[in-house]
Amino acid sequence: MFQPAITDTAAYTAQSAAPAAQQLSVWELALQGGWIMLPLLILSILCIYIFTERALAISRARKDDASFMQRIKDYIHDGEIESARKLCSQTDTPYARLISKGISRIGRPMQDVLVTIENTGNIEIAKLEKGLPWLATTAAGAPMLGFLGTVVGMVKAFYNLAAAGTAANISVLADGIYAALVTTVAGLIVGIIALFAYNYLVARVNKVMNLLEAKTMEFMDLLNEPA
């Protein structure tokens, strides 16, 4: 007669107790990943540093002074080569260093001037790309590290299951599996963030490269103008 009431009470107790058992902070979850979480943490900090530092450097490199080339043109037409070089040194941007190198070659064959500017441009782009290989490596390597941690955790889980013998149950295996999968999740998160950061910085470097090419062509057109 009283069985439904007892059943309802037991069900309510189980439902109210379940959420409390499932609550787990991010920190506690991360600790379940074991030692493999340490290199993933180091890679994530390194990626944040590289992304921030490179983003600021590329942002400075993209600054474009609209009057720069006109002033260079006026100086060269007036024969004030030293003033043009001084302007380049004061501007302190990749394209200004390109133009400065080109000015130093004025009077030589045009092909020599162009090659010198292109070589300088390659050096400037290489400087902007410093650190980007680390992001690319992290994007590919972090998920692999996470997967390694998961495989190691699975081995431990099955070992514990076998060691439990007749006392083994599904909870022993489930606890080991969820702890092992933490590293895969962490590795994927770090890898995805590194991949997006890398592609974003590469796109911005390409914009700087386009700016350098435009300045180079403008300078070469200036040298080809009739006196």
Single pTM value for the model: 0.77
Instruction: Report CA-CA distances (Å) from 62 to 20, 36, 128.
Output: 53, 39, 11
pLDDT at position 128 is: 92
Least confident of 14-18, 78-82, 102-106, 188-192: 14-18
CA–CA distance, 23 with 18 (Å, rounded to integer)? 9
Q: 201-213: buried (b, 16+ CB within 10 Å) or exposed (e) per residue?
A: beebbeebbebbe
Higher-pLDDT residue of 175 and 143 is 143
The pLDDT of residue 213 is above 70: yes
The pLDDT of residue 79 is above 80: yes
Q: Are 69 and 183 in contact (CB under 8 A)?
A: no
Q: Could you tell me the pLDDT band of residue 54, with boundaries at 50, 70 and 90?
A: very high
Percent over 90 (pLDDT), the chain:
37
CA–CA distance, 140 with 213 (Å, rounded to integer)? 32
The pLDDT of residue 206 is above 80: yes
CA–CA distance, 99 with 84 (Å, rounded to integer)? 9
The pLDDT of residue 16 is above 50: no
CA–CA distance, 225 with 155 (Å, rounded to integer)? 74
CA–CA distance, 185 with 164 (Å, rounded to integer)? 28
